Amino acid sequence: MGRRFADSPPRPFILVSRISQLKRLKFEALGGGKTVSVRILLADDHRIMREGLRALLESQADLEVVGEASGGREAVELAGKTLPDIVVMDVEMPGLSGIEATEQILSGGREIKIVGLSLHADRQFVTPMLRAGASAYVLKDCAFDELIQAIRCVLAHQVFLSPTIAGVVVDDYLSTPRRKKSPGDDPRRTLTLRQREILQLLAEGVSAGAIASRLRLSVKTVEGHRQKVMDKLDLENMADLTRYALREGLTSLNDGKEP
């Protein structure tokens, strides 16, 4: 993620509310003018990406990387152990996506901000990540300064979106009928966290036996979850399940497959 320079680049979208301004004033008052180290957890399945991010982030005097996760499950576990202020979360990771990991981390009720980091500017990745609770969505080809700006914004209780992403969010808002949504509008919400995890692994081509070994379950239990997932989502076969996962951004065609 090197620095990128361009003439008159588009400006990122930053949403500021009156409440966020008041919270920021309170935060600054509690700090008493002292430098407070911001604890950051990195989650990305590429080691070179994590190492590069760590070096860049720790070049900032007030940022401290307290942990690195190579997948969604590890990110959830480390978030509970390291208690970060911010998680820089890769949106698309094998096993448990950044979207699902974000939901699990935030479901604990802790004051953690999620900065989504992705190669994808597509609606199928952006919208679910923001709905999961991410406060920022940054593209991996951005300048490093943009990621730092995103971190500063979410610390101030603001929403930050890369310029390209802002257009996707606005288009999605304008194209969605303005009606009151019911819980049944998103069938995936009826799945348990375990079922969502198994759904993603199945869509990535992981066998029931391999899933059972990874999650420390019996094959029969995994197959039972698989059937419940397909029943709840009204899917008839594995081809339907894979298409659903692709549409919802749980996996992509270039994901590596396990036997």
pLDDT at 162 over 70: yes
Res. 208 pLDDT band, cuts 50 70 90: confident
The confidence score (pLDDT) of residue 249 equals 67
Residue with the bigger pLDDT between 68 and 174: it is 68
pLDDT in tens, 89-125: 999 998 889 999 999 999 877 789 999 999 988 888 8
Within the chain, what is the greatest distance between any pair of CA atoms?
Answer: 60
Mean pLDDT along residues 181-201: 73
- Report, as an integer, the average pLDDT of 56-60: 93
Residue 254 has pLDDT above 70, yes or no: no
The contacts of residue 186 (CB under 8 Å, 6+ apart) are none
Residue 26 has pLDDT above 50, yes or no: no
Among the listed residues 37, 44, 91, the one whose alpha carbon sits nearest the alpha carbon of residue 64: 37
Listed by start position, the domains of the chain span: 13-175, 183-247
Surface-to-core class of residue 160, CB atoms within 10 Å of its CB (0-12 exposed, 13-18 middle, 19+ buried): buried
pLDDT at 30 over 80: no
Average confidence score pLDDT of the chain: 78
Where helices occur in the chain by DSSP H, the ranges are 18-31, 47-57, 72-82, 98-106, 123-132, 144-155, 163-175, 193-203, 208-215, 219-232, 238-247
Q: Tell which CATH classification among 3.40.50.300, 3.30.70.270, 1.10.10.10, 3.30.750.210 matches the domain 183-247.
A: 1.10.10.10
Q: What is the CA radius of gyration of the chain?
A: 19
pTM of the predicted model over 0.85: no
pLDDT of 192 strictly over 90: no
122: closest CA among 94, 164, 161, 181?
A: 164
Residues 6+ apart with CB under 8 A from 18: none
Residue 82 in this model has a pLDDT that exceeds 70: yes
Q: Which residues contact 205 (CB under 8 A, 6 or more apart)?
A: 255, 257, 258
User: What string of DSSP letters covers 106-118?
Assistant: HTTT---EEEEEE
More confident residue, 203 or 100: 100
Query: pLDDT confidence of 239, banded at 50, 70, 90?
Result: low
The answer to whether residue 170 scores a pLDDT higher than 90 is no
C-alpha to C-alpha distance for 64 and 54, rounded to whole angstroms: 9
Domains 13-175 and 183-247 share a fold: no
CATH code of 13-175, in short, is 3.40.50.2300
Calculate the CA dihedral of residues 119, 123, 125, 130 and round it to 10 degrees: 110
